[in-house]
Structure 1
Amino acid sequence: MSLSAEGRHSNSNNVDTLGEHSNHLNSLYPADFRIRGLALKELPHYIFFFTCHTFINKQTERALEESLKLVLVLRDLGDDVNMVGVLVICERGAERFVLEEIRDMGSFNGTGFREVLIGEVEDLEDFLTTLENKPYIHVSRVIPYEESFHFKPETLVEILKEKMKKYADRIGAGETFCIRMERRGLKGKLSSKEVEREIGGHLWNLLKDEGKKPKVDLEKPDKTVVIQTLGNLCLLGLVNTEFKQKHYLVRFK
């Protein structure tokens, strides 16, 4: 999605929607959930961002869900173009610095999780190369993703299983694979290791059914299925080892 200034100005209904949603969001935050920044910028895109300093708990869970909804509202503004999704993991306390550094390189938003930004870029290769060629950056990792969806803890595994067929088709005969999941939020409700195990087993069976003789490699797989969750939002993608080795910022836990 493109957040062009022209498209943003041409739709007053979107402006009203953002204002109403922002006011609703502010009313949901408890007193101990301090918002450090809340702004719309036009440089050249309209970018909504917020950063906060608190641990996610039951009191802030609803506010976080509304925050993520607002991120998606912004992503739906403007004309459709081919964009690549990225999670940008910042150094400790550096969200604002990073937003300033990358504001002209795509559309980026806060997520409500410390040091984690979500964004879209037109050219992933160019974005990573530009970041990696800077003498110093406040970015520790970049995680590309291809699709996103909302889920409930009890439905995540089934949704992921349904989506694995197209990823199995992209893993060649003789290629190794692994699943890497990183959870943010939903502590006690979702286990990264359990999801990795279930999805890995399902993908293994899909590859076996295709006659590809599946093989898992947890150290240097040819293909990595990347699962990132931000509260009830899941980001999903497939990364080649060659691409990961070429760009040192592309790393998974």
Structure 2
Amino acid sequence: MTGWNVLATSLEGQRDTLLSLLRRFGRFRRAGYRNVVVGRVDDVPAVLDGVRDALASDPFLPSVLAKLLPIERTVRIEPRTAVATLVDAAEPFLDRLAGGSFFVRLERRGLKGQLHTPTLEREVAEPIWRALERRGATPRVDFADPDSILVIETVGEEAGLAVLGRALRRDYPFIKVR
């Protein structure tokens, strides 16, 4: 499934249960990594509302869902060009990052030994920072309570990106970033 727009993780060993519970919201499948599923849904905001409601009423979902993230864009990555690909993929998000504090968070699954997560986070953040400065913005990094988080979730050679604003994270507590 290319073009997934939701990524979810289960609590340890609960992936298949999570998969069955999420199928009411869209087309979900195993992502090839332990406790990870990806999905394609027609209406992401409606799914976020539906998951929030289900967490309050469904006896099973709270015991299996670790996190669920909306994904705004997916791209194919290769180790040698990953930074350039991710920086290009993040360009449409610059206006949303320009207005306040932010940080870049990468959750890597796959490409072990080929991509180093902290290094990649820095190498993606630096050109974004410079691009924001060129636009006249004064970028600020805040890891404690940022206005926005640019998340990059890799699943093998695919990466999903999204900007998670403070209000979104507050309104949907299952949208979690480490």
Which of 88, 96, 102 in structure 2 is aligned with 1:162? 88
Could you tell me how far apart the structure 2 residues matched to 1:189 and 1:103 are?
A: 33
Contact 1:224-1:238 within 8 A present in 2 as well: yes
* Residue of structure 1 aligned with 2:29, choices 101, 106, 109: 109
- Structure 1 residue aligned with 2:14: 94
Number of equivalenced pairs: 172
* Larger Rg belongs to: 1
Deviation at 1:156, TM superposition (A): 0.5
Corresponding residue number in structure 2 for 1:237: 162
> In the aligned structure 2, how far is the partner of 1:118 from the partner of 1:206?
31
For residues 140-151 of structure 1, the aligned pairs below 5 Å read 140-151=66-77
Structure 2: distance between partners of 1:164 and 1:247: 23
Alignment of 1:1-253 (within 5 A): 71-72=1-2, 85-131=5-51, 132-133=55-56, 134-137=58-61, 138-173=64-99, 175-253=100-178
Tell me which amino acid in the other structure corresponds to 2:145.
K
Between 1 and 2, higher relative CO (CA 8 Å, sep ≥ 6) is seen in 2
- Listed one character per residue, the Cα deviations across residues 25-52 of structure 1 (whole Å, up to 9, x for unaligned) are xxxxxxxxxxxxxxxxxxxxxxxxxxxx
Q: Give 4+ residue runs of structure 1 displaced > 4 Å after superposition.
A: none
- Quick check: 1:89–1:141 contact (8 Å CA) kept in 2? yes
TM-score normalised over the length of structure 2 = 0.89
| Alignment RMSD | 1.6
Residue 143 of structure 1 aligns to a residue whose secondary structure is strand
Unaligned segments of structure 1, at least 5 residues = 1-70, 76-83
Work out the CA distance in 2 between the residues paired with 1:150 and 1:172: 26
CA distance in 1, matches of 2:168, 2:59: 22
SS at match of 1:170: helix
Q: Residue 154 of structure 1 aligns to a residue in which SS? A: helix
Provide the C-alpha distance between the structure 2 equivalents of 1:252 and 1:235, rounded to a whole number of angstroms: 14
Deviates further, 241-250 or 162-171? 162-171
Contact 2:98 2:139 in 1 (8 A): no
CA contact (8 A) 1:128 1:249 kept: no
What SS is found at the alignment partner of 2:119? helix
Q: TM-score, normalised by structure 1?
A: 0.64
